[in-house]
Structure 1
Amino acid sequence: MFYKSAFKDIIYPAYSREPRVTRYRIVLVKNSRLVRAIVQLLADEPLRPQHTDLLTALDVILNRIIEVELMGVRHDCIRLVVLAEAQMIDYPITYNALEIKRRRTAANQPATATDQPIHIRSLDVVRGAVAFYVDREGGKPAGAVIVRMLQ
């Protein structure tokens, strides 16, 4: 299975909170195990120096796109690739595990003063349960397979 959506515009807040616009599309790819959604952003501005408007707003943009198009999709099934200066950068997506809501049976139990270990399955980590964050430091050039799929 292979699916490419058309490019769409998305408006996001710049560092100065002025409106900016970029384009994105979603590509669905099925490998031997599961279907992955690749969110491809087109950056009109250079990604260097590090504090560009797009890099500042990546979390906002990613969560807005997922909320509209991929709500409920598992965290481990989504990738973010930014095309800037003829280079595709693959950014890891993370989340804050403390945002995951406790189950009702656990919520009715009294809270303890000590930290309790919890087990989080990747099936439970979806947008809607937690917000996603872009690991800007972990960005690396996209692999050749990803580049071919997005061209």
Structure 2
Amino acid sequence: MIYKSAFRDIIYPAQNREPRATRYRIVLAKASRLVRAIVHLVADEPIQPESTDLPTAIDVILNRIIDGELTGVRHDCIRLVVQTGAQLTDYPITYNALELKGHGGRAPRPPGTSDQPIHIRSIDVVGGSVAFYVDHDGGRPASDVVARMLR
């Protein structure tokens, strides 16, 4: 492990647009070749007994954290781990390639033209260039190595 930040509060909108709060931190971990930023989100906190809105707001929370603290970090170097009680779930992060902006913030093609195939490498997609989404169905229990890092 390289770095473990302190927990921070984040306010997010519930399904009915009421404010809710949860806590998160960022852990930088050295993997075999890369340093990975693990966003550790705590779903069940005593200050937030109603956690039923969190699964629907994870995308909003993740993008706010990335925009605020991980802008410019490669997509393949960011992981999301959600803690619910003692369970840690590692969720894959995806993105919509159609939202990707070209250099200087311009769209790669003018609107109204036909779709053209383009090649996008995952290492070229960074925080702040596109919205990220959580693959809820792809969530798996975090590995023992990740669990030890987050404790």
In structure 2, the partner of 1:96 is 96
Instruction: After the TM superposition, list the runs of 4 or more consecutive aligned residues in structure 1 that deviate by more than 6 angstroms.
Output: 108-111
> Which blocks of at least 5 consecutive residues in structure 1 are unaligned?
46-50
The 8 Å contact of residues 35 and 77 in structure 2, kept in 1 or not, is answered as yes
Sequence identity (%): 72
Number of corresponding residues: 145
Superposed counterparts of 1:2-151, under 5 Å: 2-44=2-44, 52-102=52-102, 107=108, 112-113=113-114, 115-151=115-151
- Cα-to-partner distance string for 1:94-131 (whole Å, 9 max, x where unaligned): 00000112458994789753x32211122321122100
In 2, Cα distance between the equivalents of 1:87 and 1:12?
A: 22
Letter in 2 for 1:16: N
TM-score by length of 1: 0.87
CA-atom RMSD in angstroms: 2.3
* In structure 1, C-alpha distance between the alignment counterparts of 2:123 and 2:92, rounded to whole Å: 18
CA offsets, 1:82-103, max 9 Å, x none?
0002100111100000011245
Q: Which one-letter code corresponds to 1:144 in the other structure?
A: D
Q: Distance in 2 between matches of 1:141 and 1:101?
A: 33
Matched position secondary structure for 1:33 = coil
Structure 2: give runs of 5+ residues left out of the alignment. Answer: 46-50
Q: 1:29 to 1:108 in 2, by over 3 A?
A: closer
